[in-house]
Amino acid sequence: MLRLGIASLLSSFLLAAPARAQTPAGDGLVGQYYDGQNFERVMVIRHDATIDFDWTGSEPAPGVPAEHFSVRWTGWLVPPVSGRYKFHVTVDDGMRLWINERQILNEWRDQPVRQYTATVELTAGQAYRLRVDYYQNILDNRARLTWERPDAAKQPPPTWRNGWNMGSQPSGAEPIPSRYLYRKPPPNATTAQAAAPAPAKPTDQAAAATGGPAPGSNPSASPSPPARPKPLAVPAPKPLPAPATIPAPRPSIDSAAARVARLDEGEAVTLPDLYFDQGQAQLLPAARAALDDLAVALRARPGLRLEVQGHTDNVGVPELNRQLSQQRAEAVCRYLAAHGVPDGQLRPVGYGGTRPVADNTDPAQRPKNRRVVLVKLQ
């Protein structure tokens, strides 16, 4: 009778085992390490168990410089339980985070160690494509991705705050364990659409002003995700706050081009349609179209010599802002020269944030300082 009972138990266990088969433990992420802040030249491709690094003063990988480099981590995330997850990034300098090709954090700029947070609704056992971009300029170097699980025990709020430790983690946050991260699509897991992150202001640690030059990247460079089923039915998310890096549309530059043609010595004209993404020096399509009209006006007056002044806001490192403003002025000059304006007519000069025309402490006014001005020379 006892043998029969044991045999029955073993038989029940063997029959039940397939039903309990789960996705095997993960193996981390693929890390691509580049020389250059804008993913210029790949140097190392390796396996990283998680994203929890402080490389200050040392190379992030063999052959990769300790400064002026970038990293792209890609893979899959399979959450262990369903619910709202809080993702935190602790970073110096810039970091961006995507879940299922949806960007939920974008803190892409030069900055000291800061922490930012986004909340996302995820479903247990489903695979979400994960991508994290990071770049380092100079000095301190921090790249950390942590989460707070919905089933984590709630911690009491702190009774004091260390104002010097601006990158400290909140209670309950931990690096994402490698067992939930996969370099390839995990077996036995279905893909799903991530819910939109809940809009939230940056944490107190991240309340430092944004700005300063930072490289851009091409999100389309990442591999296309595999076919996914229709998105899960989720409550309509609240819209994310509108990005403040691009000013609202402004009046046409046509009138500015006409004013340039009538400038007296020392007079200045601000080009109202000529603006840039924050931290960037690439001309936007609307700016190129507007500069075509300006090129026509300048070709009609070959004796007119102009100083093309680049200006930024005052947020960030002053010398880097000056370099950025110089790059913007030079970008304008190159475009005009390519459209028939002689080089001798234009002199690019970058003034950085030394000549504001609006209040830099007001985020709504600050974009007005990121401008290009034409001044007539003798």
pLDDT tens digits, one per residue of 99-146: 998 999 999 999 899 999 999 999 999 999 999 999 999 888 899 999
User: Residue 364's CB: how many other CB atoms inside 10 A?
Assistant: 11
Identity of the amino acid at 83 = G
Least confident range from 157-171, 198-212, 245-259: namely 198-212
pTM for the model: 0.48
C-alpha distance from residue 369 to each of 98, 267, 287, 306, 347 (Å): 30, 18, 16, 20, 20
Given a cut of 80, is residue 212 above it in pLDDT?
A: no
In which band, very low, low, confident or very high, does the pLDDT at 214 lie, cut at 50, 70 and 90? Answer: very low
Which of 94, 91, 98 shows the shortest CA–CA distance to 215? 94
Given a cut of 70, is residue 14 above it in pLDDT?
A: no
β-strand pairing of 94-99 with 174-175: unpaired
In which band, very low, low, confident or very high, does the pLDDT at 312 lie, cut at 50, 70 and 90? Answer: confident
Phi-psi region of 252 (alpha: psi -120 to 50; beta: other; left: phi over 0): beta
Instruction: Measure the N-to-C terminal CA separation of the chain; round to a whole number of Å.
Output: 111
Question: Which domains are present in the chain?
Answer: 29-154+164-207 (3.90.182.10), 254-376 (3.30.1330.60)
CA atoms 287, 290, 292, 296: torsion sign: negative
pLDDT given for residue 293 in this prediction: 77
Output the six-digit token pair for 139. Answer: 């000095």
Given a cut of 80, is residue 290 above it in pLDDT?
A: no
Least confident range from 22-36, 105-119, 307-321, 361-375: namely 361-375
Q: What percentage of the chain has pLDDT greater than the value 70?
A: 65
CA 120 from chain centre, in angstroms, equals 17
pLDDT given for residue 343 in this prediction: 78
pLDDT given for residue 16 in this prediction: 44
pLDDT given for residue 246 in this prediction: 36
pLDDT given for residue 22 in this prediction: 65
**Average pLDDT of the residues of the chain:** 76
Contact 91, 205 (CB under 8 A): no
Given a cut of 60, is residue 238 above it in pLDDT?
A: no
User: Residue 17's CB: how many other CB atoms inside 10 A?
Assistant: 9
Helix axes 254-261, 285-299, angle to 10 degrees: 30
